[in-house]
Chain A
Amino acid sequence: MKMPDADPITKVLKALLPDCPDLANAESATSLTDATVYVAPCVDDAGNPIAAIAADLNAALHLAGKLMMLPPGGLEDQAKAGKLEDALYDALSEVFNNLAKTMNCVAGNPHLVSRPVRDGATLAGELDWLGKPSVTQEYGADFVVGGGRLIFAAK
């Protein structure tokens, strides 16, 4: 499976969140099995979870929080608390639902649909490949609460 470039991802995010920063390709450095990494499995048409879209805390707070129009102060409080509030999981899932189309637009990739977001540590118990994906691409940006990463991965 091939991962999309940063440009189409930025384009989708800016359509959802006009003040979203530009993303750029970044070195792989994030563990998808961390409790503060938020992961949406992506299933193929047979329902098999063969890919994932994830965000670290700073990226998750920006993407979900801005979609819900939370004030920056509220996002900073959550960043200090070190976790994403339960109420933002659904918002982040919707952001990732929109981002799944960027993988579908890559020629040769299977059709994928994203599933609801869970934290990486919980999901790792069900998706053993999450600890060692065969393909990973990270995208970095300066989000409202600091530098953060989006991660696309495949089994």
Chain B
Amino acid sequence: MVKILVVDDSKTMRMLITRVLRSADLSELKVVEAENGKDGLEKVSSESPDLILSDWNMPEMDGGEFLVELRKSGNDTPFGFITTEGGSDMKEQMIGKGAQFVLEKPFTEVQVETTISQFVS
């Protein structure tokens, strides 16, 4: 089973990402949701996901802080941002913090499938 953690403060966006993931050719997918980085850290601890997809701008703990805390704890789960922050400076910052990839919103199903297939099957 493939377990993917989706972290976004927008319930709508979590639903859209989940919809795309369910349409992808993944065997026995389980999607776990969190609404900010703090919630995400708890879900990583309790669910041990195979891949994390996170927004950048979120209240309480944003995506950057979430990733830093995650890596600081020794967790090396593949991590990608799905965000509207498409500037090259921002992308460099995200990769610099340890993200494996950055997907820009609005995304297509093909973009999501192609990207995540490198990390889960």
Binding site for B on A (CB under 8 A): 12, 15-16, 67-68, 90-91, 93-94, 97-98, 100-101, 104, 113
Contact = CB atoms under 8 A, between A and B. Distances in A.
Nearest to B105: A98
Contacts, number: 33
Contacts of B96: none
A113 B57 contact: yes
B74 interface: no
B10 A97 contact: yes
B108 A98 contact: no
Nearest to B57: A113
A20 to B, nearest CB: 11
Given A91-B12, A93-B12, 13 more contacts: A15-B108, A67-B12, A90-B10, A94-B10, A94-B13, A97-B10, A97-B57, A97-B84, A98-B84, A98-B106, A100-B84, A101-B84, A113-B57
Nearest to B90: A111
A67 B105 contact: no
A67 B16 contact: yes
Given A97-B84, A101-B84, A104-B87, A16 B106 contact: yes
A12 B12 contact: no
The 7 closest A-B pairs by CB, nearest first: A15-B106, A16-B106, A91-B12, A94-B12, A101-B84, A94-B10, A90-B12
B106 A12 contact: yes
Given A12-B106, A16-B106, A101 B86 contact: yes
Contacts of B16: 67, 94
Contacts of A90: 10-12
Q: Which of A16, A97, A100, A104 has the most CB of B within 10 A?
A: A97
